[in-house]
């Protein structure tokens, strides 16, 4: 009887001694399972998100639409004003504008007439894209010489961004739940580091998504308006007296500026030579004075001795 009681006491002691290591092992494994639990949750949620995105993306394609328009005109100023007025009335956005001489005619002038060119990058809402092409083609902008349209399919890229964003949203949500459940400092720091990394990746994806959405929502129209002396159909450029007068005044001003700049550059380049000539002049002048002074003294002495001899001879 006593042996049975002693055996029961030993069994109880052994069970009590093994319970504490088991608890410690459970606490240690719990902290290491936070990350794996979050990853499993993200994988599950991402699979559901992939299925939903694939079904929704199959219904609609995401396209970036662009067009290139080129016009030639013999009435540049008038057509330029008509173009800018049309853009303003339609409330389209001018993303880029460049105006200067037509590079094709930059070295060629007809009756001293310089030819101009205007380049514009216009952004229009995608639902007004075709309407904008038709409106620009029908506007009084001289003669249209070329038109090209294209569309880039970015559906796969948009799907990829949506899937990555959905996966990161699920990961951030799960990490926040684990952060609320964490009890010790080590687990909190580890979860917070993963949460910061996930939030940074999410912000980067949101930035890429915003750029892509802007390119999709607003189509791009590249337009060139080139001034020519004669249209491709043979229509010549006519020039009134006012245009000729303003052009002459402008060319006179340009020539005056060019001459002034050339004179200033000549003076700058000639300064060393001018200084050398000034120094040489003063050096020659100094030598001339020194040699002339000695010559005068000798001549005076010689003349004095000659006068003295003549006086003695006279006596």
Q: What is the CA radius of gyration of the chain?
A: 46
Q: Is 225 helix (H, G, I), strand (E, B) or coil?
A: strand
Angle at 154 between CA 149 and CA 155, to 5 degrees: 125
- Write out the two tokens for 238: 């006519």
3-state helix, strand, coil in the chain (%, to 5): 70, 15, 15
pLDDT tens digits in sequence order for the chain, 315 residues long? 444 444 554 444 444 444 444 344 343 444 444 444 545 444 444 444 444 544 444 447 899 999 999 999 888 888 999 999 999 999 999 999 998 877 655 444 444 457 889 999 999 999 999 999 999 988 888 888 999 999 999 999 999 999 999 999 999 999 999 989 888 999 889 989 999 999 999 999 999 999 999 999 999 999 999 988 777 766 555 555 666 676 667 667 778 888 888 888 888 888 888 888 888 888 887 787 776 666 655 555 565 566 555 565 555
HSE (CB half, 13 Å, CA atoms) of 260? Answer: 6
Q: Find tokens 């049975």 and name the residue.
A: 4
Helix pair angle (185-217, 155-181), 10° resolution: 160
- 105 close to 113: Cβ distance less than 8 angstroms: no
d(CA 28, CA 33): 9
- Give the DSSP H or E segment for 63: strand 63-73
Edge to edge, what strands does the sheet with 143-153 contain?
A: 93-101, 116-125, 218-227, 63-73, 143-153
The span from the CA of 77 to the CA of 82, in Å, is 9
**123 conformational bin, left if phi > 0, alpha if psi -120 to 50, beta if neither:** beta
296: CB partners within 8 A, 6+ apart: none
pTM for this entry: 0.55
pLDDT of residue 131: 93
Tell me whether residue 121 is exposed, middle or buried, using C-beta atoms within 10 angstroms of its C-beta: 0 to 12, 13 to 18, 19 or more.
middle
> Would you give the DSSP letter of residue 236?
B
Cα 315 to the center of its chain, rounded Å: 108
What's the burial of 179, exposed, middle or buried (CB within 10 Å: 0-12/13-18/19+)? middle
Q: Which residue has the tokens 């200084």?
A: 275
Residue 90 pLDDT: 92
Distance of alpha carbon 35 from alpha carbon 175, whole angstroms: 8
User: Closest Cα partner for 171 from 41, 47, 23, 36?
Assistant: 41
Q: Of 245, 247, 246, 227, nearest to 237 (Cα)? A: 227
Residues whose CB is less than 8 angstroms from the CB of residue 165 and which lie 6 or more positions away in sequence, other chains included: 202, 205, 206, 209
Tokens of 142: 């001289």
Beta strand 116-125 pairing with 218-227: antiparallel
For the chain, report the end-to-end CA distance as a whole number of angstroms.
Answer: 185
């Amino acid at each position: 009887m006593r042996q049975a009681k002693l055996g029961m006491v030993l069994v109880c002691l052994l069970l009590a001694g093994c319970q504490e290591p088991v608890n410690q092992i459970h606490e240690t494994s719990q902290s290491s399972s936070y990350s794996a639990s979050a990853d499993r949750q993200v994988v599950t949620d991402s699979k559901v998100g992939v299925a939903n995105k694939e079904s929704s993306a199959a219904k609609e394609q995401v396209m970036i639409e662009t067009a290139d328009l080129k016009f030639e005109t013999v009435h540049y100023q008038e057509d330029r004003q008509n173009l800018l007025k049309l853009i303003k009335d339609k409330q389209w956005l001018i993303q880029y504008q460049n105006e200067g001489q037509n590079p094709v005619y930059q070295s060629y002038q007809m009756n001293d007439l310089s030819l101009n060119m205007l380049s514009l990058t216009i952004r229009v809402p995608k639902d007004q894209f075709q309407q904008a092409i038709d409106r620009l083609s029908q506007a009084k902008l001289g003669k249209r010489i070329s038109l090209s349209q294209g569309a880039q399919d970015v559906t796969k890229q948009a799907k990829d961004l949506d899937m990555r964003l959905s996966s990161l949203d699920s990961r951030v949500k799960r990490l926040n739940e684990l952060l609320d459940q964490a009890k010790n400092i080590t687990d909190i720091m580890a979860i917070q580091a993963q949460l910061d990394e996930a939030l940074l990746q999410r912000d980067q994806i949101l930035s890429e998504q915003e750029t892509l959405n802007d390119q999709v929502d607003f189509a791009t129209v590249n337009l060139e308006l080139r001034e020519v002396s004669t249209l491709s159909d043979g229509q010549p450029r006519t020039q009134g007296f006012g245009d000729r007068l303003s052009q002459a005044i402008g060319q006179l001003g340009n020539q005056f500026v060019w001459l002034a700049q050339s004179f200033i550059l000549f003076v700058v380049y000639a300064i060393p030579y001018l200084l050398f000539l000034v120094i040489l002049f003063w050096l020659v002048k100094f030598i001339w004075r020194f040699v002339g002074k000695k010559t005068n003294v000798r001549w005076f002495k010689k003349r004095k001795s000659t006068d003295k001899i003549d006086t003695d001879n006279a006596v």
